[in-house]
Amino acid sequence: MPTFVLIPGMCDGAWCFDDLAVALRSAGHHVSAVTLSGVAERAHVLPGGVNLDTHITDVLAAVDADADASDGQLILVGHSYGGMVITGVADRISDLVDALVFLDAVVPRDGEACWDLVNDEERAWYLAVDDTGFGVPPMAFFDDRATSHPLASLIQKLRLSGDLTRFRRREYVFALDWPGDSPLQSSYDRVRDDPDWNCHELKGRHNLMRDNPDDLVRILLDVAARRELQHVSVLRLGSFTLTGCLVIPTPQPDYRSSTGGSPTTIPAIPT
């Protein structure tokens, strides 16, 4: 079965996914949640020298050290800033990655930094650094365990060798209940009308793991289940040799999120 790799957003540790991880494991999936360097319980790790590359390396090392991770079946889930990290990770180990889920997250392209993708209000927060000059302190409503986030990771540009079309599924989950303008709106607008993306709009604030866990789990399990369905279908065709045949897929049911997400259909079997 696929392995879920969960990457938190700014200031949070892997603990922000505790309940989500329990639900995914209960469904039979292996789950790896990664706390990034310089943040939360790893706040002591070189806070001044931690950048985006460091965080990408954190996840690559965690995957490499995880003997239970399924090769070629990784589903990367990035919350908020974590969208930068999962994009970089997927680019570097594309042969191991099956799908990406951007959970109210930035969606970068080559040469872009998190700074480039958010609004002015968010950038003002980034610049209100703590006494070290290196860290962006958590906002007042963050979890008590949250710590400052390394500023360098927000302003370093991401370098990519390819794009996201290499991966079977690309999902975007947008939180509808921001108290003001969402700093993730431009990232959502970038993909919402792209037919190669499945987009979902969920009731809840930015922390959808807390505000709308049931719908979020449903979406993630659907990503994994469709992968398994496609894999089984390909195996069934594997013993046949089709020459000069046009395979026309049977139309599949249309699944629409009750919370307003765009339709998603079962992927056709490659021919």
What value does the CA radius of gyration of the chain take, rounded to a whole number of Å? 19
- Confirm whether 80 is a catalytic residue: yes
26: closest CA among 8, 1, 6? 1
**Which residue is listed with tokens 């979020």?**
216
Residue 102 CB contacts under 8 Å (≥ 6 apart), including other chains: 78, 83, 86, 170, 171, 172, 173, 187, 191
From 32, 37, 80, 257, the catalytic residue: 80
Q: Which helix (H) or strand (E) holds 171?
A: strand 169-175
Residue 103 CB contacts under 8 Å (≥ 6 apart), including other chains: 77, 78, 79, 80, 82, 83, 173, 208, 209, 216
CA distances from 138 to 11, 102, 184, 194, 213 (A): 6, 21, 18, 33, 22
Hey, is 75 helix, strand or coil?
Answer: strand
d(CA 123, CA 120): 5
CA distances from 231 to 130, 150, 266, 269 (A): 49, 40, 12, 9
Strand 149-150 to 135-136 pairing: antiparallel
Catalytic residue positions? Answer: 80
